[in-house]
Amino acid sequence: MTIEFQDVHASYDPATPILKGVSFRVEDGEFVAFVGTNGAGKSTTMRLVNGLIKPDSGEVLIDGESSRRLKTSDLARRIGFLFQNPDNQICSGTVRDELLFGFKAIGRLDASAEARVDAIVEEFGFNPDDDPFLLNRGTRQLLALASIVVLDTPVIVLDEPTTGLDYRECVKVMGVIERLHERGTTVVMVCHDMEVVADFAERVIVMSDGAVIDDGPTFRVLRDRRTLEAADLVAPQVVDISLAMGLLRPSLAEAPVAHANTIEQMCDAVAACVGVPYAGVRGMEGAPR
Ligand SMILES: Nc1ncnc2c1ncn2[C@@H]1O[C@H](COP(=O)(O)OP(=O)(O)OP(=O)(O)O)[C@@H](O)[C@H]1O
Ligand SMILES: [Mg+2]
């Protein structure tokens, strides 16, 4: 599935333009992060993707079809949407009903839906009878994510899936998203955490004041000081360290160390420099200390 914005202008009230000519195209299977300051228009862009709002001018094309002509229920079958705050999403009295809710909404509540819900309850380790509103913030966020995952849509749109979570919860949520992406799901994610963006996204779109100011591979965008400053973003530490290597010793400026974008790439590059084998960050988790 592809998502394409062609010179999209959008607003909540015609006197106040919010998106001022946004264009981009997301290909099938990509993992794209949207970043930028508060109020840049990221959530508005996500609402346009899933048809909650329509453009004032320009086109939002889902698989080449204008979102003006697609019904919200058609879009819901293709695009799962995680809201910025899970409490806006959760509406049922039990975990199980919450997971079944999406199937009801798209008219697909049958035996296979029930089986899928049971599998997700098992996979996420939920108690199906729990009251969602009594769960802690991290588990509610996981439930909101599970209620999208269960529908198995080809695209998921996630508006700040890790905000307000502690490190452990963040790892859990991102693990679920990474596995979906590995299975071929297209992931579009708004995220304020540049460490998460560097570790998971393949491409970054930077927004500022209702416009796209940069769009490219993560490793390039997160190294562009001018873009980061314009969008008031802080580069992930690993990027600072890798850039510093080149400043410390100019010969390192072209070495893989200086191009590392994730901790994984940094470890690989350092291992290659010093000539020791390296099993990968994940390989180190089980290693004796
Ligand atoms: N429902 C709404 N009605 C009117 N104005 C809105 C509405 N939602 C957002 N806005 C305005 O639109 C602009 C863009 O908001 P948006 O939520 O898209 O930004 P954002 O990039 O997601 O910001 P944040 O990082 O704070 O979530 C802001 O000026 C905001 O005040
Ligand atoms: Mg937002």
Number of the ligand closest to the Cα of 42: 1
Is residue 163 located within the same domain as residue 217? yes
Predicted pLDDT of residue 287: 44
39 alpha carbon – ligand 1 mean position (Å): 5
pLDDT tens digit sequence for 13-39: 989 999 999 999 999 999 999 999 999
Predicted pLDDT of residue 275: 77
Q: Kindly state whether residue 99 falls inside one of the protein's structural domains.
A: no
Q: Distance (Å, rounded) from C-alpha 15 to C-alpha 19?
A: 12
Angle at alpha carbon of residue 31, lines to 26 and 35, rounded to 5°: 85
Position with higher pLDDT, 4 vs 165: 4
Predicted pLDDT of residue 107: 84
Which whole number is the average pLDDT over 99-111?
89
Q: Is 135 in the pocket of ligand 1 (CB under 6 A)?
A: no
Q: Distance (Å, rounded) from C-alpha 15 to C-alpha 73?
A: 30
Q: Is 41 in the pocket of ligand 1 (CB under 6 A)?
A: yes
Predicted pLDDT of residue 282: 54
Q: Kindly state whether residue 62 falls inside one of the protein's structural domains.
A: yes
φ, ψ for residue 212, nearest 5 deg: -85, 120
Count of residues in the chain: 289
Predicted pLDDT of residue 216: 95
Distances (CA, A) of 280 to 139, 161, 260, 265: 29, 26, 14, 9
Is residue 204 located within the same domain as residue 180? yes
Residue 45: is its pLDDT beyond 50?
A: yes
Q: What is the CATH number of the domain that holds 170?
A: 3.40.50.300
210 alpha carbon – ligand 1 mean position (Å): 10
Predicted pLDDT of residue 158: 96
Residue 48: is its pLDDT beyond 60?
A: yes
Are 213 and 231 in contact by the 8 Å Cβ rule? The answer is yes
Q: Kindly state whether residue 204 falls inside one of the protein's structural domains.
A: yes
Q: Which atom of ligand 1 is nearest to the CA of 36?
A: 21
Predicted pLDDT of residue 108: 85
Is residue 213 located within the same domain as residue 159? yes
Predicted pLDDT of residue 87: 82
Q: What is the per-residue DSSP string for 127-155?
A: -TTS-GGGS-HHHHHHHHHHHHHTT--SE
Is residue 262 located within the same domain as residue 213? no
Predicted pLDDT of residue 78: 94
Residue 102: is its pLDDT beyond 80?
A: yes
Is residue 169 located within the same domain as residue 76? yes
Residue 286: is its pLDDT beyond 60?
A: no
Is residue 175 located within the same domain as residue 78? yes
Is residue 160 located within the same domain as residue 264? no
Is residue 160 located within the same domain as residue 213? yes
Q: Is 44 in the pocket of ligand 1 (CB under 6 A)?
A: yes
- The residue whose CA is least distant from atom 27 of ligand 1 is 38
Q: Kindly state whether residue 79 falls inside one of the protein's structural domains.
A: yes
Q: Kindly state whether residue 262 falls inside one of the protein's structural domains.
A: yes
Q: Is 161 in the pocket of ligand 1 (CB under 6 A)?
A: no
Last residue of a domain, one of 185, 217, 234: 234
Are 7 and 22 in contact by the 8 Å Cβ rule? The answer is yes
Q: Kindly state whether residue 255 falls inside one of the protein's structural domains.
A: yes
Predicted pLDDT of residue 7: 98
Residue ranges making up the domain that contains 213: 3-91+153-234
Sheet containing strand 155-159, strands side by side: 79-82, 155-159, 186-190, 31-36, 203-208, 211-217
Are 187 and 156 in contact by the 8 Å Cβ rule? The answer is yes
- The residue whose CA is least distant from atom 31 of ligand 1 is 39
Is residue 87 located within the same domain as residue 180? yes
Q: How many domains does the chain have?
A: 2
Which whole number is the average pLDDT over 224-246?
85
Alpha helices in the chain (DSSP H): 42-49, 72-78, 95-105, 111-124, 137-149, 167-182, 194-200, 218-221, 225-230, 237-248, 256-259, 263-274, 281-284
The SS3 of residue 278 is coil
pLDDT tens digit sequence for 181-227: 999 999 999 999 998 999 999 999 999 999 999 999 998 899 888 89
Q: Kindly state whether residue 134 falls inside one of the protein's structural domains.
A: no
Is residue 173 located within the same domain as residue 207? yes
Average pLDDT, the chain: 90
Is residue 75 located within the same domain as residue 15? yes
Q: Kindly state whether residue 280 falls inside one of the protein's structural domains.
A: no
Predicted pLDDT of residue 258: 77
